[in-house]
Amino acid sequence: MIKLFGRRHSLFRPRTIWIRKVVQIFFFTMVTLLSINHSLAETGQAIPWLGTASLHALCPFGGVVTIYQYAVSGNFVQKIHESAFILMVVGFFLAILFGPVFCGWVCPLGSVQEWASLLGKKIFRRRFNHFIPARLDTVLRYLRYLVLAWVIYVTAVTGTLVFSEYDPYFALFNFWSSEVALSGLAILGLTLLLSLFVERPWCKYACPYGAVLGISNLFRIFSIRRNESTCKADGACSILCPMNIAVDNKIVVRDHQCISCLECTSEAICPVVKTVQFSTGGTK
């Protein structure tokens, strides 16, 4: 037996949602190739069978920050493409159905943080993802809503995409180009460093798009649900939740930080069949 956070748990071999890993690798590879090809296109050396869209055209958050200007003038913020607006709508539709699946399955920056955390897990083992005191952690998780408010405000006032200078997502796929700002590279580096200690630090504490999609957890149609009658209450689902959500204390997970990764379900870590499931049903 091992003791974690005041409770004893049996040793277990965690499984994973393998299809999620495939989806993560696919989108990371796709965005990487498109970003490289966009840079090549500027020198006339683009790969013919690949698209040459910029990263701004591939990011649904661009649609969010341009909503105000589009409503007022009918135009998009500088550098924002119509495709970003379409992706925003698709992202909202998926969030209403399944919650923030973009965060847990699609976002390449979220995936990179997870991959960086693999080293942190080897170094710190059970201590990993539990360095920050719970009370402080609870407060810090609302910082991303302040970031969201700031980004929307400065974008509406200036009519320019100011956030791109600080965005680690943009820096990750443009670090080789002259478009990226030092501030973005610095935040990307800090994010990767913190990923050795905390799972998905940018997602938890600073991502404005994660803040937008996180609200969908309050009313999403498909949610993570725990069957109390078959639950062993061993805490495995909570211990391995990347977002530190106490799944074993809930009937329906409505936490604004849930990213729909499904790693707490019976298909992954929960040892009892059909105890933690992703399904529809009444909220409690």
CA distances to 17, 36, 124, 196, 249 from 115, rounded to whole Å, are 15, 21, 15, 10, 28
Least confident of 46-55, 185-194, 244-253: 46-55
| Per-residue pLDDT reduced to its tens digit, 255-272 | 999 999 999 999 888 888
What is the dihedral sign for C-alpha 41, 66, 85, 101? positive
- What's the distance, CA 230 to chain centroid? 30
The residue-averaged pLDDT of 208-233 equals 93
Q: Which two tokens stand for residue 59?
A: 């990011």
pLDDT tens profile 119-160:
999 999 889 998 999 899 999 999 999 999 999 999 888 888
C-alpha pair distances (Å), 260 with each of 29, 76, 136, 176, 256:
21, 30, 24, 32, 11
More confident residue, 233 or 79: 233
Q: How far is CA 16 from the centre of its chain?
A: 17
Instruction: List 3's β-bridge partners, or say none.
Output: 8
What is the 3 state secondary structure string of the chain?
Answer: CEEECCEEECCCCCCCCHHHHHHHHHHHHHHHHHHHHHHHHCCCCCCCCCCCCCHHHHCCHHHHHCHHHHHHHCCCCCCCCHHHHHHHHHHHHHHHHHCCHHHHHHCHHHHHHHHHHHHHHHHHHHHCCCCCCHHHHHHHCCHHHHHHHHHHHHHHHHCCCHHHHCCHHHHHCCCCCCCCCHHHHHHHHHHHHHCCCCCCHHHHHCCHHHHHHHHHHHCCCCEEEECCCCCCCCCHHHHCCCCCCCHHHCCECCCCCCCCCCCCCCCCCCCCCCCEEEECCCCC
pLDDT at 51 > cutoff 80: no
Question: For residue 14, what pLDDT is reported?
Answer: 55
CB 256 within 8 A of CB 218: yes
Find which of 57-61, 72-76, 243-247 is predicted with most confidence, using mean pLDDT.
Answer: 243-247
Band the pLDDT of 115: cuts 50, 70, 90: very high
* pTM as predicted: 0.87
Q: Which of 132, 93, 83, 100 is nearest to 208 (CA)?
A: 100
* Average pLDDT score, the chain: 87
Average pLDDT of span 243-260:
94
User: With bands split at pLDDT 50, 70 and 90, how would you rate the model's confidence at 276?
Assistant: very high
Mean per-residue pLDDT for 157-168?
A: 89
Mean pLDDT throughout 164-185? Answer: 92
Examine the pLDDT at 3 and tell me if it is beyond 60.
no
Tell me if 208 sits within 8 A of 148, measured CB to CB.
yes
pLDDT score recorded for residue 84: 83
Q: What pLDDT band is residue 179 in, cutting at 50, 70 and 90? A: confident
